[in-house]
Structure 1
Amino acid sequence: MNPYIDEKKKLQDPYYKLMELNGDRLQLELNSWSRLDLIGWLYWNDRNGIYKDEDSLREFDNILSKDEAIKIITKQITES
C-alpha cells in the first residue's frame, strides 16, 4: 500500500473515511459493519495485532467479538 495516498483517494476509501468520524457518527458506522469487516479494518490499521480468527484462536483460544472489535477501533481512532 502506498504510504502517501492523496487526500481525494482517502475520502473515497471506507477505511480512511472511518478514521474521520467521531462520537455517534463513528459508533453508527461501526455498528453497520459486519464483524469480518471490522476485523479487516483492524488488520489493515495494525498488521501486528492479533485480530484474525485463526491467530486469535491460536493465541487466546477465542475469537474477537463484534462488540470488542468496535471498542478497539473506537479506541484506536479516538486516541490517535
Structure 2
Amino acid sequence: MKIVQKHYFAQQDSEVLSQQERLSDWRHQLLDLPEDKLLELVRSMPRLKLIEWLAWNDIHGIFLDEDAISEGYPPLTREQAMMCVFAVVMRNRDGWNGYMGDVNLKDLDLAVSL
C-alpha cells in the first residue's frame, strides 16, 4: 500500500505581497525571467519544485500527485512538469513560437492550456 503525503503549495487568495516581497519570491521571479533563463532554470529544477510552482500558480489545477490520483490521472513526470511550467510562463508573451528548446509544446497534450 502506497501512502500519499498531502502538500499544500497553492497560493492563498487573500495573500497580498508588497512589491519588495514579490521581487524576492522565487515563484514571482520565475514569471519575469527571459526565455533562455527560464528554460535553463526549469531544466534544473527538481520535480517537486516544478509541481509546487504549478500548484501555486493555479489553485484549481490538478498538479499535486494526490490530486491527480484522486481524479484518475497519473502524476506528472518531471518532464511534463517542466513543459507545463515553461508553457504557462511563456503562453501570453508576444512573439513566443510555442517551442521549449527544440520541442513544440503546441503539438503536445499538456496538463495546461496554451
Query: Identity, % of aligned pairs?
Result: 30
* RMSD after superposition: 1.4
Aligned residues: 79
Amino acid corresponding to residue 24 of structure 2 in structure 1: Q
1:50 to 62, 77, 88: 62
1:8 to 20, 45, 48: 20
Whole-angstrom CA distance in 1 between matches of 2:36 and 2:18: 27
Alignment of 1:15-30 (within 5 A): 15-30=27-42
Counterpart of 2:88 in structure 1 is 76
Quick check: which one's helix share is greater? Answer: 1
Counterpart of 1:62 in structure 2 is 74
1:67 shift after superposition? 1.0
Whole-angstrom CA distance in 2 between matches of 1:57 and 1:17: 30
Whole-angstrom CA distance in 2 between matches of 1:67 and 1:24: 17
**Structure 1 residues not aligned, in runs of 5+:** none
**Structure 2 residues not aligned, in runs of 5+:** 1-11, 93-114
Alignment of 1:26-37 (within 5 A): 26-37=38-49
Per-residue displacement from partner, 1:43-67 (whole Å, max 9, x unpaired)?
Answer: 0000100001011122244110111
TM-score normalised over the length of structure 2: 0.63
